[in-house]
Amino acid sequence: MNTLLEVSGVSVSFDGFKAINNLSFQIAEHELRAVIGPNGAGKTTFMDIITGKTRPDEGRVSYGDKSVSLLSLSESRIAQLGVGRKFQRPTVFEDQSVGDNLMMSLKKERGPFAVLVFRPSDKDRARVAELAEEIGLSGALDRKAGELSHGQKQWLEIGMLLAQEPRLLLVDEPAAGMTPAEREHTTDLLKAAAKTRAVVVVEHDMEFVRRLDCKVTVLHEGSVLAEGSIDHVTRNEEVIEVYLGR
């Protein structure tokens, strides 16, 4: 399979502290990948780099068929190229309805003038309804997103990501604050999403990662400690020491 994203030799330091240290990472198209690591391992910072929020001190990040470098692009350009991101803390637009949140995320022209003249077609509405169905919020389309429960907000955010139709989906701790049943639903959603795109999931919960049933990358102190199947990495001595042992 073709490589979709290649991160090589990336380092970032905040006030002298190396949050990411010579990190290299690759993901193929239509691949599902779990990233685990102790608190402060640099998982969120890693996503910040790919999405353009944080500029690395050194290293390369190339993406897509033409291997464009993402380092000089703005956040919105990177998103337009098909990199979608779910944040650790659910961030939906709480003051707006679930339907508006989804409609805003649908893959469309993003420029101000295009948005100004945009009026949703029947197809767009159908797509929003379909997405709402997928994330279990069909009954809540007209409710304000702020009224939703924590788990529902997480889903809404996943729905917004799916609406963007990204080629690469970065998901930061999607199952945080979810009930076991909700977690299961989330796993299914992510696995289904990975059939048509690359998905990177950051998660602490081992059970959740096991259920994803995919290749796992372990981060520690800003670099890759181990990579492989879940059984492979959980047997790794170093991994046990820094992460699982505690």
Ligand X SMILES: Nc1ncnc2c1ncn2[C@@H]1O[C@H](COP(=O)(O)OP(=O)(O)OP(=O)(O)O)[C@@H](O)[C@H]1O
Residues of span 85-104 touching Mg ion by CB under 5 A: 88
Site membership for another protein, residue 103 (CB under 8 A): yes
Q: Which residues contact 237 (CB under 8 A, 6 or more apart)?
A: none
Which residue in 245, 203, 237, 242 sits closest to 47, CA to CA?
203
Tell me, residue by residue from 6 to 35, as one string, x for binding to ligand X by CB under 6 A and - for no binding. --------x----x----------------
State the amino acid at position 53 in one-letter form.
K
Question: What's the CA gap between 151 and 155, in Å, rounded?
Answer: 6
**From 7, 23, 34, 37, residue interacting with ligand X (rule: CB under 6 A):** 37
Judged by CB under 8 A, the residue of 21, 22, 62, 80 near another protein is 80
Buried b or exposed e, range 191-217, using 16+ CB within 10 angstroms: bebbeebbbbbbbeeeebbebbebbbb
Q: What are phi and psi of 125, to 5 degrees?
A: -65, -40
* CA distance from start to end of the chain: 36
Is there binding between residue 104 and another protein (CB under 8 A)?
yes
How far apart, in whole angstroms, are the C-alpha atoms of residue 13 and residue 239?
A: 23
44 belongs to the binding site for Mg ion (CB under 5 A) = yes
115: contact with another protein by CB under 8 A: yes
Choose among another protein, ligand X, Mg ion, none what residue 146 binds, the Cβ cut-off being 5 to 8 Å by kind: another protein
Of all residues in this chain, which one has the CB nearest to Mg ion in the complex? 44
Q: Which of 57, 146, 180, 241 binds another protein (CB under 8 A)?
A: 146
C-alpha closest to that of 31 among 193, 236, 225: 193
Coil, strand or helix: which one is 188? Answer: helix
Write down the H helix ranges in the chain.
43-50, 75-80, 98-105, 112-117, 122-134, 150-163, 180-193, 206-212, 230-235, 237-239
Is-contact 2 168, C-beta < 8 A? no
Residue 23 binding partner per list another protein, ligand X, Mg ion, none, with a CB distance cut-off of 5 to 8 Å that depends on partner kind:
none
- Please, what is the minimum distance in Å from the beta carbon of residue 243 to ligand X? 11
**Minimum CB distance to another protein smaller for 93 or for 177:** 93
Chain positions 45 to 64 lying near ligand X, rule: CB under 6 A, are: 45
Q: Applying CB under 6 A, which of residues 2, 39, 74, 121 lies at the interface with ligand X?
A: 39
Nearest of 96, 86, 94 to residue 163 by alpha carbon: 86
Binding footprint of another protein, residue count (CB under 8 A) = 41
Instruction: Establish if 44 lies at the interface with another protein (CB under 8 A).
Output: no
Binding site for another protein (CB under 8 A): 51, 53, 74-76, 79-80, 84-85, 87, 91, 93-97, 99-100, 103-105, 110-113, 115-116, 118-120, 122, 125, 128, 141-142, 144-147, 160, 164
Q: Which residues bind ligand X (CB under 6 A)?
A: 14, 19, 37, 39-45, 88
